[in-house]
Chains A and B, each alone.
Chain A
């Protein structure tokens, strides 16, 4: 009776096929159908930015996008940033500069950072402030986050990543709770979620 649509999409480098109701929001699809709990739910109307993921390399709000609209597209969540057990330079920088407190906004903040630095590899502090304005953080006052973005810009342009490869448009890494657990954006909240991912259920 319920209208269901088949969707096939690439999430963090892996092809996923599911049948979904058209009204299924992408963020619910990622979290509940795929167990990728790094995409967080905040305001659920596109304002806070905590559900931000990359679609074909561009940041989008997954809470105001339907899963059916991701059919045939490539999605990268925070779980796709690390590769071969190594942090993405952006994750490294957030870790080093303590660019987080509770961690709730962090996965989306890092994905937005990937995009900011792709468009402008050496932004000024002011440009970073404007760039991350799409993402709300209720803890930090943003200063350490800005430090982290600038640090990522510095390390990435210095080419310190030894394999010289920066996954941006496509998640190259393992798409699993394992990667999420390694995410420096993961305060205790995210680590718990990563464990929960194996049970396909959030706490």
Chain B
């Protein structure tokens, strides 16, 4: 045996090979059980010993949860579906192109090869791209436990920084994303100092036009609060808009009104708000041109 290098604290390892088995293990472990999916956020935390779970339940052998498919009018993404699978999925590109554009901006390919979509939702990092995109898309989270299953709108599922309403014994089995209409415009725009880093801020936009005017607008932001937020003010101001400079500028300003992002080493609160505004502006621009182009 080799040397003794061990970054994380010890834990007991469970590796179920079926969902029912996984839910039974989670049920038994209760508070003690922690799910290991892609591990791209959890294992760094464990290496720093900021997280010291006593039991890890590895769901990487649950092949039955490795899917991205249309199901009953939505795009269903299983707990084992990797972020890189979403990025490559033709099905997803047609059904929810906003999500595909967002996932391409998550970290780098070696991370996306392991990281999962459902794991990103369960981790609920306020700076993360996927929860914000899913919020703009009005996605639903399917939480499974031995007792059964419940469906929770993502805005109710994520309740704070790195906090969700998932209870012990539950697993995010699937996220369900309403299909984007063929004529809708979408865009995910973010700004980060270096490509692949967590963004200072990012904006997810979905527009539905009717006769050249906005019928329905969805705007969500990441990196500006303790959790991803919908910009209700911007959505309202966009109703009926035709996409003029003034309209976009007003919507971008409304999107960040009242936000007080926390400062960090990348910049102060005002800076983040400013960046968020620019991201909304850019995303709206692109979404409008896509909606008009029918792309």
A residues with CB within 8 A of B: 2-3, 5, 18-19, 21-25, 28-29, 31-33, 44-46, 49, 52, 55, 58-61, 63-66, 68-69, 112, 115, 130-131, 133-134, 200-201
Contacts and interface: CB of A to CB of B under 8 A. Distances in A.
Contacts of B62: none
Nearest to A2: B10
A31 B36 CA distance: 24
B195 to A, nearest CB: 5
A130 B43 CA distance: 25
Query: Max chain A CB contacts within 10 Å: which of B2, B3, B12, B46?
Result: B2
A21 B6 contact: yes
Nearest to A28: B5
A201 B1 CA distance: 12
Interface residues of B, number: 35
B13 A65 contact: no
Interface of B: 1-3, 5-13, 15, 36, 39-40, 43-44, 46-48, 56, 58, 60, 84, 107-111, 113-114, 194-196
Q: Chain A: interface secondary structure?
A: mixed
Contacts of A69: 36, 39, 58, 60
A49 B3 contact: no
A124 B132 CA distance: 31
A44 B7 contact: yes
B110 A134 contact: yes
A199 to B, nearest CB: 12
Given A29-B2, A45-B47, 19 more contacts: A18-B1, A19-B1, A22-B12, A22-B13, A23-B11, A23-B46, A25-B8, A28-B7, A32-B2, A49-B110, A58-B84, A60-B113, A61-B114, A63-B47, A65-B114, A66-B39, A69-B36, A134-B196, A200-B2
Nearest to A136: B194
A5 to B, nearest CB: 6
Contacts of A21: 6, 10
28 contacts: A2-B10, A21-B6, A23-B6, A23-B7, A23-B46, A24-B6, A29-B2, A32-B2, A32-B3, A44-B7, A44-B47, A45-B47, A45-B48, A46-B111, A58-B110, A58-B113, A60-B114, A61-B110, A63-B47, A64-B47, A65-B39, A69-B36, A131-B109, A133-B108, A133-B196, A134-B110, A134-B111, A201-B3
A45 B47 CA distance: 7
A64 B39 contact: yes
A57 B55 CA distance: 30
A32 B3 CA distance: 6
B43 A65 contact: yes
A3 B12 contact: yes
Contacts of A23: 6-11, 46
A2 B43 CA distance: 20
Contacts of B36: 69
A200 B39 CA distance: 28
A134 B109 contact: yes
